Amino acid sequence: MRAGDGAGGAPGGDRTPLFRLLGPVRVGLPGDPAARPGPPRRQAVLSVLLLRRRRPVTVAGLVAAVWGDDAPASAAGNLRTHLWALRTLLEPGRTAREPARILRGDEHGYALHTPPESVDAWRFEHRAEAARQARERGDTAAEHALLADALALWSGEALAGVPGPFADEERTRLAALRTTARKRHIVCALRLGLHHTVIPELTALTREFPLDEELRALLMRALHGCGRQAEAFTVFADTHRTLGEELGVAPCRELTALHARLLAHDPPPRAPRPAHAPSRPPYDRPPYDRPPYDRPAYDRPAYDRPALPDEAERALAEARSVLTEGADRGVVPVLVITGPCGAAGTALAERIADGVAHHFPDGRLFADLRTRGPVPAAGAGPLLARLLHALGVPAARIPADPEQRAALYRSALAVRRVLVVLEGARDAAQVLPLLPGTPGSAVLLTTRSRVLAPALPAATHIELPAGPRTEAPYRGEAPYRGEGADPLAPTAPPQDDLPPELARAAHRLTRSGAGPTSVGALAAVLGTGFTEAALIAEALVDAGVLDTPAAGTYRPANRP
């Protein structure tokens, strides 16, 4: 970068430096060739300051972002050397007594004061957001043009060769944004009838991301639209083989349905769907190994959904406001629906998810947390891997460490507005790794545990009263009601989500026909000591099987 004529590169002037981060890091003045701003660590310092968008960063924050936990004792001194060199580079005409105008430092830290249009990463995100707004308006041509301009800013991997934990996280975040933009650009091209223009790019992308079923579907549509049906069918066969070998699963319903349409010579629609029927992204299906016929409740058509009791209907308005106002409050809202079996919690979750769908244009991410017996020792690691894959992260980039997977998961959600739906949560340990880290997304979960909501940040609790149950007795045995028992009382407490020990205890209590009872009476029924009976009773309260109307007194949750 030339020294210039003493203009100093003042922000907003003709000599404002231009920064490139979407590829190798480069800096240049208008009309001059861009060049590296120095060695890799200096590039890392510059990248942190640019991507913090004028927010000051302390010396300690810069050291952690550039060197991480293994920073040497000399890191702070090296950092000051890099800052001095960057000031000299960005304001070459500034004298020693002149205050800095671009790279400024004060008691709050260091910040780069440069206009947004001077940073290619800022321009990319701005145009991607403008494209999203055009999509909401139904203007496919405008979305296509804006995404083309945004993608043209890239010249390789973002922050290529830049070291440090901050650069690693931003590389992943920007790569996810780029992948989303590329997919949307291709979708727009198909809707505009430009099938032939996207086949080369799709061929390369499916080679780069062989497990991405959405890319495979787009390639099949593009080939079919060009009259290359045999190649489209070959793509499906290859997808079926690859998914079976790598993941042990079959293609998703959407891809299978597309294949069936192409076999019937019915080309997929090119026009956008109406506003009342938003398109569903690939991660809007459950990211776990369910057979295709075992659909989650959220895929059921409206006419096939159960009616809600009056209490649940009244909770809808409150639930929708909780989930949609979180971004305004700067939090990730968490709505916890609690209720025993038969309380219509799943049906209420369906209605809520449908009612707020337009607030989350990037779709729903679904996870079934129900377990049989103790929580697996592997924890959230395997589920996080499936969720990351559903979000478009290549398998090769999913780390082995569960904490690193959780960090990558939060980074991937940071650029999306997604409703995370968690069904059948047992405790906070299951849920906490799955919460988004930044406002914009929201979490809706169902559980039978009354103690889960207080353990979650920004959680709102809706508890539904018990409804009628018709569950089968434990292990096929006939229920014993006891003398004088209400013949209309339910025959068994909910046992499908309970560990075996609690399920057996719930079954014994049901057979006893006991009403409100003490811990001592429970111990006699269960054949345990007082302390063990108290622990079992509290666990059954958390699971929604028992209520505790007074301290030390318990009764079946669904009895008056």
Neighbouring-strand partners of residue 286? none
Once rounded to an integer, what is the mean pLDDT over residues 442-462? 80
Q: Which of 147-151, 269-273, 383-387, 501-505 has the lowest mean pLDDT?
A: 269-273
Q: Where is pLDDT greater, at 431 or 64?
A: 64
Q: Which of 23-37, 48-62, 69-83, 438-452 has the lowest mean pLDDT?
A: 438-452
Residues of the chain with pLDDT > 90, as a percent, come to 30
C-alpha distance from residue 550 to each of 518, 541, 555 (Å): 10, 12, 10
**Does residue 344 register a pLDDT over 70?**
no
Cβ–Cβ < 8 Å for 388, 305: no
Structure tokens at 427: 């405790």
Q: Tell me the residue type at 137.
A: R
Once rounded to an integer, what is the mean pLDDT over residues 15-35? 88
**Does residue 336 register a pLDDT over 80?**
yes
Q: pLDDT digit string (tens) for 50-71?
A: 999 889 999 999 999 999 998 9
What's residue 348's pLDDT? 76
* Relative orientation angle of helices 165-191 and 40-51, to the nearest 10 degrees: 60
Once rounded to an integer, what is the mean pLDDT over residues 539-554? 67
Structure tokens at 317: 């308005």
419-425 and 546-550 beta bridge pairing: unpaired
284 pLDDT band, cuts 50/70/90, is very low
Ranges of H-type helices in 249-304: 253-263
Sign of CA dihedral 187, 190, 194, 198: positive
Domains in the chain with CATH codes: 18-118 (1.10.10.10), 120-275 (1.25.40.10), 297-463 (3.40.50.300), 474-556 (1.10.10)
543 pLDDT band, cuts 50/70/90, is low
**Does residue 167 register a pLDDT over 60?**
yes
Q: Tell me the residue type at 492.
A: A
Distance in angstroms between the alpha carbons of the first and the last residue of the chain: 80
Once rounded to an integer, what is the mean pLDDT over residues 104-108? 87
Letter string b/e over residues 102-125, b meaning 16 or more CB atoms within 10 A of that residue's CB: bbbeeeebbbbebeeebbbbbbbb
Cβ–Cβ < 8 Å for 464, 345: yes
Neighbouring-strand partners of residue 112? 103
Task: State the DSSP code for 274.
Answer: P
**Does residue 86 register a pLDDT over 90?**
yes
Neighbouring-strand partners of residue 104? 111
**3-class secondary structure, 322:** helix
Q: Where is pLDDT greater, at 378 or 166?
A: 166
Sign of CA dihedral 469, 475, 481, 487: positive
What's residue 145's pLDDT? 93
The average confidence (pLDDT) of the chain is: 76
Q: Where is pLDDT greater, at 77 or 301?
A: 77
**Does residue 552 register a pLDDT over 80?**
no
Closest CA to 133 of 143, 148, 118: 143
Q: 85: burial class by Cβ within 10 Å (0-12, 13-18, 19+)?
A: middle
Phi–psi pair at 231, nearest 5 degrees? -70, -35
**Does residue 295 register a pLDDT over 60?**
no
Q: Which of 337-351, 398-412, 418-432 has the lowest mean pLDDT?
A: 337-351
Q: Which helix (H) or strand (E) holds 60?
A: helix 59-67
What's residue 371's pLDDT? 57
What's residue 400's pLDDT? 85
Q: Which residues contact 372 (CB under 8 A, 6 or more apart)?
A: 497, 499
**3-class secondary structure, 459:** strand
Confidence (pTM): 0.48
Q: pLDDT digit string (tens) for 108-159?
A: 899 999 998 999 999 999 999 999 999 999 999 999 999 999 999 999 999 9
**Does residue 474 register a pLDDT over 50?**
no
C-alpha distance from residue 98 to each of 7, 15, 28, 64 (Å): 13, 18, 22, 30
**Does residue 382 register a pLDDT over 80?**
yes
- Give CA–CA dist 479/494, Å, rounded: 14
Q: Which of 48-57, 156-165, 208-217, 247-256 has the lowest mean pLDDT?
A: 247-256
C-alpha distance from residue 528 to each of 9, 276, 502 (Å): 79, 57, 13
**Does residue 521 register a pLDDT over 90?**
no
Once rounded to an integer, what is the mean pLDDT over residues 356-381? 70
Once rounded to an integer, what is the mean pLDDT over residues 384-398? 82
